[in-house]
Amino acid sequence: MTRLGTMVWNFAKALKEHAKTGFKTVSPVEYATRMAICIECPLLKKDDRCQECGCHMPTKAGWASSFCPLLERKWNSVK
C-alpha cells in the first residue's frame, strides 16, 4: 500500500472508532496534554502529521477513542 493509502486506511480506522463512541472528545486539559506530548515527539512532522500513522494529530488527539500509534504509547484512549 502506498504511503497515502496507509494514511487513509489508518485515518478511516480511527474515524470508525471515533464514530463508535458517538464522536466523544477529550477534555481541553486532556487535549492539551496529548498535543504537548506530540509536539515533543520527533515523529511529528511540520504539517502536524504523525510519521508513524500519518494522521493529523491536532484532529486525532481530540478524539477520546484515539491513542498514540507507537508500540510504547505516549498517550492512550480515554475509557
pLDDT in tens, the chain (79 residues): 568 898 889 999 999 999 999 999 999 999 999 999 999 999 999 999 999 988 999 999 999 999 999 989 999 988 6
| Cell numbers standing for residue 71 | 508500540
Q: How far is CA 52 from CA 19, 21, 45, 49, in A?
A: 22, 24, 10, 9
pLDDT of residue 79: 64
74 is a domain residue: no
pLDDT of residue 30: 96
> Number of folded domains in the chain?
1
> Length of the chain in residues, anyone?
79
Residue ranges making up the domain that contains 36: 3-60
11 is a domain residue: yes
| Cell numbers standing for residue 57 | 494529530
Global model pTM greater than 0.85:
yes
pLDDT of residue 4: 87
